[in-house]
Amino acid sequence: MLRFITDLRVPFDNNLAERDIRMPKLRQKISGAFRTDTGIALFATIRSYLSTMRKQGADIFEALVLTFQGSPPMPRLA
C-alpha cells in the first residue's frame, strides 16, 4: 500500500498517470467523441508509446523519426 516508503523509485503520487489520461479526455471533450473504435485504439497506442519513451528518457523526436523510417526503438521492459 505504501510502496514508496520501501522503494524510492516509486513516486509518492500518481500524477504521471493522471497526466497520461488528461490528453485523451481533453480531445474527447473538444471533439465530442472519437469517430471510430479503431481511431481511439490508434490514438491510445501512439500516446502510450510516446509516454513510455518519455518516461524512459528517450528523445521523442528521434523515436518518431526512427518509427517513420521503419525501425522504431523499443521501450525497455522493467
Of 23, 12, 2, 9, which Cα lies nearest the Cα of 55? Answer: 9
Residue with cell 471510430: 36
SS3 at position 56: coil
Residue-wise pLDDT tens digits, 13-70 = 767 767 777 777 776 677 766 678 888 788 888 888 888 888 889 999 999 999 999 9
Sole residue written with cell 523509485: 9
How many CB atoms within 10 Å of residue 76? 10
Give the domain extent around 57.
14-68
What's the confidence (pLDDT) of residue 65? 93
Residue 62 lies in a domain: yes
Decide if 3 is inside a domain: no
Rounded Cα distance between 74 and 77, Å, is: 9
Within a domain: residue 34?
A: yes
Structural domains in the chain (count):
1
Considering only CA atoms, which of 42, 24, 20 is closest in space to residue 33?
24
Residue 45: all three cell numbers together: 497506442
